[in-house]
Every structure is written in structure tokens, then in C-alpha cells.
Structure 1
Amino acid sequence: MTEFSPESLSSIGPKEFAQLVKSTPDSKIAEVMASDSRTKILDEVFNRMPSLFRAEKAGDAQAVIHWIITGPNGASNTYETVIENGQCTVTTTPVREPKLAMTMDAVTFLKVVAGDGNPMMLFMTGKIKAKGDLALAASIAKLFDIPKA
């Protein structure tokens, strides 16, 4: 199996990524996400979002979503996903007022985007904190082609 690292992520597709997250122990993911590789891995995941966006499911949805991925020592990375005009764009420099802001640790985030965690259950247990449009939060998964491991 491929090692969980930025190099391996850039060379595998979404399905392989989902299998990698599922087969890697949470402790190993947490270790890698606490290292200098953290931003590279998050950038790789967020850079794929526009290509996994399902415009046909979004319809005329207009939304700005802030993803706050917490890290060690109170640090965090914030990404902005904008869905409008049938397009999805992502930036590492949030500038717009979010309709929804979600906060979670890196392991939880990777499990969600890899289809290895139930977002509603993670929200109910406090692993994901959402502020804003909770109906949007509940429907995010259908807007993206999330691989099944």
C-alpha cells in the first residue's frame, strides 16, 4: 500500500486516496498532518475539489463555504470554496462572507472527503462544528463526487 504523504497523494486518484485514508491508522494521519507536510496535503485535497464538483446536483446554488482545519498548537488552515454559476472555485485566502463555516481537525476532514466518515454523525458528536446554513452543511456531500473506499 502507498505511504500516506504529499508525494503519494499527488500521484493517485480519488478512489486510491479514499482507500489510503481508510487503510492508514488515525494516529499515522494525525502524525503526518502535524508535520510540515500538512499544508501540501490540504492544498492537494482542496485543489481537487473543482474537478470533483457535480454541477448538475448544485443547480442554481450559490454558496461560500469556509473550511477551518485545526492543527497543532492552535494553528489552523482556512480554505474558501465558492459555488456559483455552476462552478466551484477554491482559494486559500478567504475573502467573502461565508454562508457556512465548518471547523474540524485534519483527520476528521480527510475522513470526510475520503468518504470514510459520516459527516452527520461527526457533527452530532462534535467532531465537526458548523456555523451558518446547516441545511447546506447537510447537502455538501451530494455536491461532490466523493469516492467510496
Structure 2
Amino acid sequence: MQINNIFNQIVSNMKADPIHLNNVNAIYEFHITGETESVYQLVLNNGDVTYIVGAKEEPTITLVLSEESFLKMTNGSLNPTVAYMSGKLKVKGDLSQALKLQSLLKQYQ
């Protein structure tokens, strides 16, 4: 599945250069909607990063978006702020964490 490949690439990029992850402790939960609904968690813990399929940890923030929006957001063709303002991205939790994620994704694309 393409989403698993994207998470693998993000985790690989973050582990290769974790300098931007120091002092970042968050669990980002992604609810991917569409033909096949799925849940993924990106777990950041002081420079360590993993991703989990399913909802296993208590999330810091939950992001709900379509598979298409997720793919566009992670390849840089959809700005997360624009996605949020247009209703393509719904956020449950601390919006500052969403902004932090936006910054991290940009650094590790």
C-alpha cells in the first residue's frame, strides 16, 4: 500500500537526521478516509520515531483526511493549512501540534 511506503520513507528520513526531532514528544494519529478506512500513528519521542498501523497509543493530535489529501500533503502539493481551511483536513487536538507536523514534514520530504 502506498501509504505504508510513505510512512516508511518519513520514518527513514527522520531517523537518518533526527536533529529536528529533539524535544519533540507527540503522537500524530492519521485517520485516512476513502475506499478503505485506515488509522496510522506517527510516534515521535525525543529523536526516536516509529509508525504504527492502528490506534494503539493515546494520540496528542488526530488528523482526519482522505487518502488523496494525505498523498498530496506528504508530497508537498497540498499545503496543510490550506487543506485545513478548505475542510480537506480535520484536526482534533492542539493546532500548534499540527503546525509542528507541517514544519517537520517539510524538513523530511
Q: Displacement, 1:146?
A: 4.5
Is the contact made by 1:68 and 1:102 (CA closer than 8 Å) also made in structure 2? Answer: yes
Paired with 2:9 and 2:20, the residues of 1 have a C-alpha distance of 18
Unaligned runs of 5+ in 2: none
Q: Displacement, 1:41?
A: 1.0
Paired with 2:96 and 2:28, the residues of 1 have a C-alpha distance of 13
Paired with 1:85 and 1:121, the residues of 2 have a C-alpha distance of 29
Match of 2:39 among 60, 63, 78: 78
**Which residue number corresponds to residue 9 of structure 2?**
48
Match of 1:90 among 21, 43, 51: 51
Is the contact made by 1:111 and 1:117 (CA closer than 8 Å) also made in structure 2? Answer: yes
Larger radius of gyration: 1
| Equivalent AA in structure 1 for residue 44 of structure 2 | I
More deviation in 113-122 or 85-94? 85-94
**TM-score, length basis structure 1:** 0.66
Is the contact made by 1:63 and 1:83 (CA closer than 8 Å) also made in structure 2? Answer: yes
**Which residue number corresponds to residue 132 of structure 1?**
93
How many residue pairs get matched?
Answer: 106
Q: Deviations over 1:15-52 (max 9, x none)?
A: xxxxxxxxxxxxxxxxxxxxxxxxx1111111112112
2:28 maps to 1:65: yes
**TM-score, length basis structure 2:** 0.88
Unaligned runs of 5+ in 1: 1-39
Percent identity of paired positions between Structure 1 and Structure 2? 28
What RMSD in Å do the two structures reach over aligned CA positions?
1.4
